[in-house]
């Protein structure tokens, strides 16, 4: 009886640990999405250099420093 209870508690602790671990991984994944990556194709609408970096919602020109937001997949000046 006592042993069963110990095992039960261990399982609960393991589940709690895994839950925290998953949350941490998801947190890291979300952080990675927000990182800017080189766009590489679209010229900057401001200085026309292909120097844009982007994440899911925003872009920035590394040449002139102009920031943009993506609206319906089109670049808009910030
Ligand atoms: Zn630019």
pLDDT, tens digit, 9 for 90 and up, residues 13-54: 888 887 777 777 677 666 555 689 999 999 999 999 999 999
For residue 46, how far is its CA from the centre of ligand 1 (angstroms)? 5
Instruction: Classify 67 as helix, strand or coil.
Output: strand
Q: What is the dihedral of CA 9, 14, 17, 21, to 10 degrees?
A: -160
Q: How far is the CA of 47 from the centre of ligand 1 (A)?
A: 4
**Rounded to the nearest whole angstrom, what is the distance from the C-alpha of residue 29 to the centroid of ligand 1?**
29
**Global model pTM greater than 0.75:** no
Q: What is the mean pLDDT of residues 55-61?
A: 94
The pLDDT, as a whole number, for residue 73 is: 86
Compute, in angstroms, the gap from residue 68 CA to the centroid of ligand 1: 10
What is the 55 CA–ligand 1 centroid distance (Å)? 16
How many angstroms separate the Cα of 48 from the Cα of each of 37, 71, 72? 18, 19, 21
Strand partners for 60: 53, 67
């Amino acid at each position: 009886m006592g042993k069963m209870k110990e095992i039960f508690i261990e399982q609960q602790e393991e589940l709690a640990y895994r839950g925290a671990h998953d949350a941490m991984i998801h947190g890291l994944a979300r952080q990675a999405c927000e990182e800017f990556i080189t766009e590489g194709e679209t010229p900057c609408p401001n200085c026309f250099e292909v120097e844009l970096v982007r994440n899911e919602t925003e872009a920035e020109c590394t040449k002139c420093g102009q920031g943009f937001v993506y609206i319906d997949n089109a670049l808009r000046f910030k």
